[in-house]
């Protein structure tokens, strides 16, 4: 249920602007990997190129190679929708479908996959909501609008929606930046549990969060505005936060820049 990701010389562009350059990372299955770095350093761009969401934006493209268990996801013959089903994504701001109920939100991905049988959908919805630690809070109001929940609940609903299709990898783009500390804690707890099943990559600006939840940490940075983001250091989280090998990493995590 979880797969390994290899990025080799990944370079991503927005039109003529090179946002990241030559990123090389290997992410092991069933781990949490945190991407940290100052704003504009390309963490989110890299994250979005892992499930081919980067190319959704006009004139955006990716070069280099990204494989999942050895299979190139940018291969010409690969169906992009299959890639995105395999590599789910949770966004910075909770984005439940506003016209759908809680239940419909959770099963939206399954419906897209052609699952029609009510019993299967019900089962999957309960499983996903339980996994997202949301079931007890919403089980009595599954028919209510998903957008009526609190911010933290909405984000867990979005996580439930993402894991309902049983992806191999879950990408999270600053999933807690719009949430209060208690909701943040709930989602961090959730990440510990989800790690048993999924490979998780999370972008975060919160270094305590990276230190708490991740096994490995990648530090991205840019020289100056307009330059492409580069991977400065990638190591075990503990080592990054206690004894980084790069001066820049140390400066960043101790708050001396960024």
Partner 1 sequence: MGDTPHRSADAGTGGTRVTEGHPWPAGASAHVAESPVSTGTPGGPGLGGGGALPTARRFGAERAFRGLTFAAGSFVLVVIAAIAVFLIAKAVPALRANTVNFWTYEGWSPNDPEPKFGIGALAFGTVLSSALALLMAVPVALGIALYLSHYAPRRLGTSLGFLIDLLAAVPSVVFGLWGRDYFSGPVGNLSIWLNEYFGWIPLFGGDGPYGASILLGALVLAIMVLPIITSLSREVFLQTPTANEEAALALGATRWEMIRTAVLPYGRPGIIAAVMLGLGRALGETIALAMTLGITFNISFNLIENGGNTIAANIANTFGEANETGRGALIASGLVLFAITLIVNITARAIIYRRREFTESAA
Q: Are strands 216-221 and 32-36 parallel, antiparallel or unpaired?
A: parallel
- Is residue 112 involved in binding partner 1 (CB under 8 A)? yes
Instruction: Supply the minimum distance, in Å, between the C-beta of residue 208 and partner 1.
Output: 26
Which of 95, 133, 177, 246 is close enough to bind partner 1 by CB under 8 A?
A: 95
Check: CB of residue 204 under 8 Å from CB of residue 39: no
- Helix 118-131 and helix 151-164: axis angle, to 10°? 130
Which of 30, 61, 93, 230 is close enough to bind partner 1 by CB under 8 A?
A: 93
Instruction: Supply the minimum distance, in Å, between the C-beta of residue 253 and partner 1.
Output: 30
- Is residue 141 involved in binding partner 1 (CB under 8 A)? no
Question: φ, ψ for residue 111 (rounded to 5)?
Answer: -60, -40
Instruction: Supply the minimum distance, in Å, between the C-beta of residue 184 and partner 1.
Output: 19
How many residues touch partner 1 under the rule CB under 8 A: the total is 32
Choices 141-149, 196-204, 205-213, 221-229; region in contact with partner 1 by CB under 8 A: 141-149
Question: φ, ψ for residue 255 (rounded to 5)?
Answer: 85, 20
CB atoms within 10 A of CB 103: 19
Q: What is the CA radius of gyration of the chain?
A: 18
- Is residue 61 involved in binding partner 1 (CB under 8 A)? no
In this structure, the dihedral spanned by the alpha carbons of residues 85, 149, 32 and 212, taken in order and rounded to 10 degrees, is: 170
Instruction: Supply the minimum distance, in Å, between the C-beta of residue 48 and partner 1.
Output: 9
Question: φ, ψ for residue 117 (rounded to 5)?
Answer: -70, 125
Instruction: Supply the minimum distance, in Å, between the C-beta of residue 49 and partner 1.
Output: 13
Which of 1, 15, 24, 82 is close enough to bind partner 1 by CB under 8 A?
A: 82
Footprint on residues 148-167 left by partner 1 (CB under 8 A):
148, 158, 161-162, 165
Question: φ, ψ for residue 219 (rounded to 5)?
Answer: -105, 120
| Buried/exposed 203-233: b ≥16 CB within 10 Å, e otherwise | bbebbebbbbbbbbbbbbbbeeeeebbbbbb
- Is residue 50 involved in binding partner 1 (CB under 8 A)? no
State how far the Cα of 86 lies from the Cα of 232, in Å rounded to an integer.
28
Which of 4, 31, 65, 147 is close enough to bind partner 1 by CB under 8 A?
A: 147
- Is residue 115 involved in binding partner 1 (CB under 8 A)? no
Which of 9, 26, 71, 99 is close enough to bind partner 1 by CB under 8 A?
A: 99
Which residues contact partner 1 by CB under 8 A? 51, 53, 56, 58, 81-85, 88-89, 91, 93, 95-101, 108-109, 112-113, 144-145, 147-148, 158, 161-162, 165
């Amino acid at each position: 249920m979880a797969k390994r990701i290899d990025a080799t010389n990944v370079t991503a562009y927005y039109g003529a602007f090179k946002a990241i350059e030559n990123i090389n990372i290997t992410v092991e299955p069933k781990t949490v990997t945190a991407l940290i770095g100052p704003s504009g350093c390309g963490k989110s761009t890299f994250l979005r190129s892992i499930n081919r969401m980067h190319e959704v934006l006009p004139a955006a493209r990716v070069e280099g190679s990204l494989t999942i268990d050895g299979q190139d996801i940018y291969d010409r013959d690969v169906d992009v929708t299959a890639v995105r089903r395999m590599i789910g994504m949770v966004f910075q701001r909770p984005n439940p479908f506003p016209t759908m109920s809680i239940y419909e939100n959770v099963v939206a991905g399954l419906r897209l996959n052609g699952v029609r049988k009510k019993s299967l959908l019900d089962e999957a919805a309960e499983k996903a909501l339980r996994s997202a630690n949301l079931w007890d809070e919403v089980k009595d109001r599954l028919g209510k609008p998903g957008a009526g929940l609190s911010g933290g609940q909405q984000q867990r609903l979005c996580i439930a929606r993402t894991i309902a299709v049983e992806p191999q990898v879950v990408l999270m783009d600053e999933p807690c930046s719009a949430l209060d500390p208690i909701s943040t804690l709930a989602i961090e707890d959730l990440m510990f549990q989800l790690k048993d099943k999924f490979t998780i990559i999370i972008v975060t600006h919160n270094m305590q969060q990276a230190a708490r939840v991740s096994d490995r940490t990648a530090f991205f940075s840019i020289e100056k505005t307009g330059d492409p983001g580069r991977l400065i250091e990638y190591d075990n989280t503990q080592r990054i936060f206690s004894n980084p090998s790069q001066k820049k990493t140390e400066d960043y995590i101790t708050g001396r820049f960024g």
